[in-house]
Chains A and B, each alone.
Chain A
Amino acid sequence: MDKNYTARRRRDLIIAAVLAALAALAPLFVKNVYIQNILVLTLMYAALSQSWNILSGYCGQISLGHALYFGIGAYTTELLFTKFGVLPWFGMLAGGAIAALIAMGLGYPFFRLRGHYFVIATIVIAEIGLLLFQNWEWAGAAMGITIPVRGDSWLKFQFMRSKLPYFYFALALCCLAWFVTWWLEDSKWGFWWRAVKDNPEAAESLGVVVFNSKMGAAAVSAFLVAVGGAFYAQFLAYIDPESVMGFQFSLLMALPAVLGGIGTLWGPVLGAAILIPMTELTRSYIGGSGRGVDLIVYGGLIVAISLALPQGLVSLFSRSKAKGATR
């Protein structure tokens, strides 16, 4: 068991490195801007979902309010940039730090709640954030913020002519989120989280400080999601409350992990790799009529996958791997 476990972890790392290298070469073959766009979004959602999975998958605290942290990352970066001229790189880190602090501040009362009460509380807090930003004049209220064009540069993290820099950043973020998950999975935190998820009372009796481990998961998860939000804001060059803090983001972050395999290392990446291109393609090929056919197909697929593979797409792969990953 022990030997297999170490071997599996090393194998996961090698697979990830190979996949990342292949992904890095993808732009050599994909010149179509539209496809590049889909790739960027896929990588971003993979990263977001991977981060969501840390709190909701590993630690078992289902959050449907992560749009809050996404929006905070986006808004912190852009408010600092447009109002104070702070470079997005620092804004990104500041956004992450603020989101992590807020996550811990909220965790204080929230983590006493269980089950549906917790899930609804997370939805509600994100909704409050959305309403406040929609009414916050200084931050552009419902009109949002347009990010001023200052020319293409890595310094300002702004590129108008090519999508490639965004692609590489999204890839890096995705790798970071994956690596953090991989690393934490084998740390004492990872074991604590799974213990808290399976049986909090038993974990507590064995000396796991349940509250602290939930806080840790929330902070890491919120930080990474906020960095994703900062990236998304620079990528779109325009943000408004609904487009960075809407409830749909909370669901879109959770969906790849759930369809791919919640609480697993590969679930979010796998789920995003299938779900996001599918979403974008149905939207552009059959959604153009505005008649809702794309919604029917998209919703139908979600129903079908959740019913057919309740443990996620990961369970399709070798049994031993799925077993090791879900426990």
Chain B
Amino acid sequence: MKNQKFNALFSVMALAAIALLLAACGGAATPAPAPAEKEEAAAPAPAEKEEAAAPAEKEEAAPAEEAAMSDRCGDKSKLSSELNIFNWADYMDPDIMARFEEECGVKVTEDIYSSNEEMMAKIQAGNAGYDMIVPSDYAVQILADGGFLAEIDKANIPNISNLNPDNMGMYFDPENKYSLPFQWGTTGLAYNETAFPDGPPDSLAYIFDPEKVCEHSGFVSMLDDERESIGAAMLYLGYDFNDTDPDHQAEARDVLLKQKDCLAGYNSDNFNQTLASEEVVLAHAWSGGAALARDENENIKYLIPKEGGSIWQDNMAIPADAPHKYTAEVFMNYVLDPEMGAVLTNYTYYFTPNTASEPLLDEYYHNLLKEGGMMVDDEIYKRLHWIKRDDKTIIFSDTWTAVKAQ
């Protein structure tokens, strides 16, 4: 009889063991994801030619014929067998990694993080083992200042010429010594057209004026992000987006507290879903999330309010202690290829810095973003602000704590 109790204990392990077996079988039966799905994106040949012409400036020891055959793989003899990248979730089409493996024989392993700070903590601790990371603007600056990034050898990345000069030479890396643009986006307001019959909510008053917010009480959400939400309050008050003046911060706090009672809540994780399922009708939102919501519900539109919004850019960089630096550079070059650039952006729904890839983008993507109001023109661009961090901006955290304490 006592043995039955042992059985119970062993069944935990047996259970796990069988689960493991099943998982293993599943794994073994898995073929590499077929690239067929996105094949049409590869169709237009002219761009390929353009790109083939680009590597003229390439100084490589590889024999010319091999270079022509596999110029997307760099010098194959110098490639490592594996490459470890550390990236945001759902931010790299698995197709790109599978095709790189097929073409160049490098096994790409992707691990994911959900905030810059998490990623920075691991990179700063050292010996993390990653070859490529995707830090946002301010994170590039912090990592570069701390000496945690390797200088990129641009000779290995001829596809740099595909990049839009507007996305290069930003404040966080003026000479692009350490980083190359990956994707970028904006922060504004996403709304459900049917809830605003009198016209779009084109002002921050729709989220901060208590009267206007409470018209949709319980159906408005703000980003759960101290810099974005307080920054928006600053713009509403007519101050600078990065204002650290204690009096202005106190005003911003009061604006946020007054708005709070009529909010559904703060949500920066899945506002795309709450918008699409009409749990909220107005959301302080990132452009990519708004596009995802529109993908599911075509009543969702997006705009940058007249007071302004913010802009951000994620970038590819190589940690200073990366084990496979050359391979990482070749992979960056691969990602910056016009064809791959299009595959990437069709997948993420953000904006691409890769000018050469623009003609290859899906029509669906274009229409989604154009009709959804996500596209950025020169007039809108002027209203966008970068989030900057320095020693004083810690006050944003304290203001945010005060908002969340009540």
Do A and B come from the same complex?
no
